[in-house]
Amino acid sequence: MRSLSILVVVDHEEVRKGIRALLSERADWLICGEARDGIEAIERAKRLRPDVILMDISMPRIQGIEATRIILREVPESDVIILSQNDFGLIHKAAAEAGAAGFVDKSRLPQDLLKTIEALEKNVMGHGPSGRPNTTIDPQVVNLDNLSGTGLLARETANLLRKVFMQSPVAMGLLSGPEHLWTFVNHEMIRATGRGRIEDFIGKTIRESMPELEGQPFFELLDTVYRTGVPHVGTEVKAVLNNAVTDQNEDIYFTFVYQPLRGLDEEVEGILVYAVEVTSQMLEKAERDKRGRASSLLAAIVDSSDDAIISKTLDGVITSWNKSAERLFGYTCEEAVGRHITLIIPEDRRDEEAKILERLKRGERIDHFETLRRRKDGELLSLSLTISPVKDDAGCVVGASKVARDITERKEIERALTERAQLLDLSSDAIMVRDGADRVTYWNRSACDLYGYSREEAMGRVTHDLFRTEFPEPLEHISEQLHRDGRWTGELIHRRKDGTKIVVASRWALDIDRRGNQNCVLETNNDITQQKQNDKTLRESEERLRMLSNSLEIQVSERTEELEYRNAEVLQQSEQLRELSNRLLKMQDDER
């Protein structure tokens, strides 16, 4: 099968590049040549004899319409498709008179160019002796002949409206009768509604041409306008329309007017539809609203943050200053914005700012930089700074965002702990300090001796995990008591580094900051393992003595019972002896 040969005549390289990209989708089409003006187009057309010529209108030396006339006279077997973004109606008329086979709006090249060439290739349109039908086509052109003879307007009015309609950058159409039959539509109406041909409208009612509008308000609005004669104006109204190319429903927004048209008898005979598609504006508005809501939310978050948040330019000029910055530094937003950031930087720290700005210009982020800054009243503050570069849409660094956290109190506590560290190291008790997350921030020498962990090994570890603590009650209950009473005392079972278990008498004291938040917990542990073992041994000894005492008591009782029994026997025998002695004495007396 022979390839379809195409000559591209366009004076702008970028447009030619775009056309080449579109045509490359068809392997059976061949770009046989390119020309940048009318003269080159005529010469190449004579030499190359292409099947199709894509002709731009505005070109140097000879315009596209004149070049088309000459080419079709010299190379009648070629078909010419006019490309233009100028006055649609006038250009189309001139192109048709010159013999062009088709017309494509430059703004719709991606949508319409391939379809127009395919139609030519299939002999749907064309001219000349090649045997193809001699029909001038344009898939986007409206049929203006239908405007006359509608009974709605006089011919002179129709002629005027024909020009207005065709030049209009907005969608326009005429509906006739109570059934709303389309008698006229312009190019923008076809494009805006997602249709591909005039045949999708002319001769059909709006319900037939746009069945997807059923259930939307438009049919009822048209009926009301036709019945009452009162125009209707819709502003930024959404219509769900079916796109003929993708066969998918799309949300399209219009600002439109339904204007009733009256006949000579003043009765409504039709409706002029005038619609401006505002989809892109609505999407942009929605995006702006979304960005606005996000910006408002971000501003609210920034303003409610406990940290001072400041933004500045790369020259160091302050551009934003939140409420916490006002509280921290003492300057109001009005006083700070527009001033240089050195407003809050002590003299001996100015070199820091220059280094920070240099790093920011390289796109670097600065985390947890601890430094000093000065309040309005002259007081120095210890701060932890996190500074991030701010970039524009092109990715260029245009400023910086600074988050400042006041660590003055923390630094004071750290200094106090450092000063007391040597004293605490003298204690025989294991002493440690935990932060709000129970991580070790201080670890004395006795703690090293008791648990076997060095300071380096213990710092930053969670004590309960490090010791594998066994609590006498749930930790939640202990924490509740600690926060309620400020202290807790009890016995805990810990494991040393070598795995051995020890029992400690543990005392916890809670330190809170000015806002009532947990600052740290001071924990003192005393090893009572030996004491617990001694107590256990003592209890075991006492139990053995008690058992021995009970045993002796039983034995004495048993021996007493035995003696008593034997004593009774002796008494009985003694009584018997006495009776026997008495008898013997009596017998002796009797004998005497």
CA dist 144 → 150, 162, 190 (Å) = 12, 6, 14
What pLDDT, on a 0 to 100 scale, did the predictor assign at position 218? Answer: 94
| 485: in domain | yes
Whether residue 9 is found in the same domain as residue 79? yes
Q: State which residues form the domain around 430.
A: 410-527
**Comparison of pLDDT for 197 and 451, the residue scoring more:** 451
| Euclidean distance between CA atoms 49 and 30, whole angstroms | 13
Q: 188 and 279: one domain?
A: yes
Mean pLDDT of the residues in the chain: 83
User: Which residue, of 500, 527, 554, is where some domain finishes?
Assistant: 527
Cβ within 8 Å of residue 28, ≥6 positions away = 1, 3, 4
- Cβ burial of 56 (10 Å; 0-12, 13-18, 19+) is buried
- Say if residue 294's pLDDT is above 80: no
Last residue of a domain, one of 391, 406, 421: 406
pLDDT at 501: 93
- Mean pLDDT for the stretch of residues 307-327: 90
Q: Both 341 and 418 in a single domain?
A: no
81 closest CA partner among 39, 118, 122: 118
Q: Rounded mean pLDDT of 299-327?
A: 86
Q: Within 10 A of 333 (CB to CB), how many other CB atoms are there?
A: 14
Same domain? For 502 and 424 the reply is yes
Residues for the chain: how many in total?
A: 592
CATH number at residue 246: 3.30.450.20
Q: How far is the C-alpha of 360 from the C-alpha of 347, rounded, in Å?
A: 21
**398 neighbors 391 (Cβ within 8 angstroms):** yes
Judge whether 139 and 112 are in contact, CB under 8 Å: yes
493 and 441 in a common domain: yes
d(CA 106, CA 86): 9
Cα 352 to Cα 347, 348, 356, 365, 372: the distances in Å are: 10, 9, 6, 15, 10
Q: Same domain for 270 and 151?
A: yes
How far is it, in rounded angstroms, from Cα 134 to Cα 127?
4
Do 389 and 317 belong together in one domain?
yes
pLDDT above 70 for 457? yes
pLDDT of residue 90: 54
Residue pair 574/568 in contact (Cβ under 8 Å)? The answer is no
Q: State the pairing for strand pair 4-9/52-56.
A: parallel
Nearest to 111, CA basis, from 134, 146, 140, 75 = 140
pLDDT at res. 306: 80
Report the range out of 147-151, 387-391, 501-505 with the highest average pLDDT.
501-505
Claim to verify: residue 342 and residue 260 sit in the same structural domain: no
Residue 326 resides in a domain: yes
Q: What is the pLDDT of residue 89?
A: 52
Distances (CA, A) of 117 to 4, 113, 114, 136, 316: 10, 6, 5, 13, 60
- The per-residue pLDDT for range 496-544, each reduced to its tens digit, is 999 999 999 999 999 887 777 778 899 999 999 988 888 888 888 888 8
Count structural domains, the chain.
4
Question: What pLDDT shows up at residue 564?
Answer: 82
569 is a domain residue? no
Same domain, 395 and 444: no
pLDDT value, residue 143: 36
List the CATH number of the domain containing 8. Answer: 3.40.50.2300
- Do residues 196 and 278 share a domain? yes
Considering the entire predicted model, what is its pTM? 0.37
583 assigned to some structural domain: no
pLDDT of 324 higher than 80: yes
3-state secondary structure 488-544: EEEEEEEECCCCCEEEEEEEEEEEECCCCCEEEEEEEEEECHHHHHHHHHHHHHHHH
Residues 330 and 456 in one domain: no
pLDDT 10s digits, 238-288:
999 998 878 889 999 999 999 999 887 888 999 999 899 898 888 888 888
Judge whether 162 and 172 are in contact, CB under 8 Å. Answer: no
Residue 51 sits in the same domain as residue 91: yes
Query: Which two structure tokens, joined as six digits, stand for 581?
Result: 């002695």
Kindly tell me if the per-residue pLDDT of 547 is higher than 90: no
Q: pLDDT band for 126, please (50, 70, 90 cuts).
A: very low
Q: What pLDDT is recorded for position 160?
A: 63
Asked whether the beta carbons of 460 and 444 are under 8 A apart, the reply is no
| In-domain check, residue 12 | yes
Return the pLDDT at 132.
Answer: 36
Find residue 382's DSSP bridge partners.
Answer: 372
In a domain, 14, yes or no: yes
Confidence class for position 183, pLDDT limits 50, 70, 90: confident
Task: Specify if 542 maps to a domain.
Answer: no
Find tokens 């003592």 and name the residue.
538
359: helix, coil or strand? helix
346, 375, 406 — which closes off a domain?
406
Considering only CA atoms, which of 88, 100, 84, 259 is closest in space to residue 186? 88
Assess if residue 579 is contained within a domain.
Answer: no
